[in-house]
Amino acid sequence: MTTRLIVWRHGNTDWNASHRVQGQTDVPLNELGHRQAAEAARLLATTRPDAIVASDLRRAADTAAALSALTGQAVSYDERLRERFFGAWQGLTTATVAATRPDEFARWKAGADVVGGDVETLDDLGKRVSDALQDASALAPGGVVVVATHGAAARQGLGHLLGWPREQMRTLRALQNCHWVELTHDEGPGWQLGAYNVGAHAEQPVPPAV
């Protein structure tokens, strides 16, 4: 029995566009983000999802709502799918973080835990999102589950789910807005990565999700 799990990053926001650290700040989709969600939803609707789960932050919840509107499938919400908590960084541009908190920024760029600034650790992020993904997949064993979440949360959560070391997770480029990851789960091999950074349209590369 194969369960298919699609992990979907939310659409664009004004803070994405200005390279501002969102973290768990509840920033809404902008006009582009709503268009991206509608375009992606048309493709994802063809998978006939048996369940849709979303982070309760508006940018993810509204992205999931676009798919719900096409499929009639209700959305359930899980706060464990929220983006990484970035503490004192939230609301700052990445350029400001680099200029005013250079040691913390250097550790983040190197893929290490940030020391200071009350930023959530990578292990804590990976575990809480992975647990949420496991619970979401259990809603429809042998079916299709779509989860709307956030960039850093998606990458760290799926890496934890797959049992990858941190160094291997860093080989994955940042998920583009409204792109997704496809995983499958079977009794024998367990979780396997099927596709990464799939989307309805091509975009220019983006900096790592924050």
Average pLDDT over residues 166-174: 90
By annotation, the residues acting in catalysis are 10, 83
pLDDT at 28 over 70: yes
Q: Which of 42-46, 102-106, 111-115, 179-183 has the lowest mean pLDDT?
A: 111-115
The pLDDT assigned to 209 comes to 63
What is the structure's pLDDT at 99? 97
Q: Which residue has the higher pLDDT, 101 or 210?
A: 101
**Alpha carbon distance 120, 114 (integer Å):** 8
Q: Can you give the pTM of this predicted structure?
A: 0.94
Question: Residue 50 annotated as binding?
Answer: no
CATH number at 3-85+120-198:
3.40.50.1240
What's residue 205's pLDDT?
44
Residue 59 annotated as part of some ligand binding site = yes
| Residue 9 among known ligand-binding residues | yes
Question: Is 30 within any annotated ligand binding site?
Answer: no
Q: Where are the domains of the chain?
A: 3-85+120-198
**In this predicted model, what pLDDT tens digit does every residue of 133-158 receive, in sequence order?**
999 999 999 999 999 999 999 999 99
Residue 52 has what pLDDT? Answer: 98
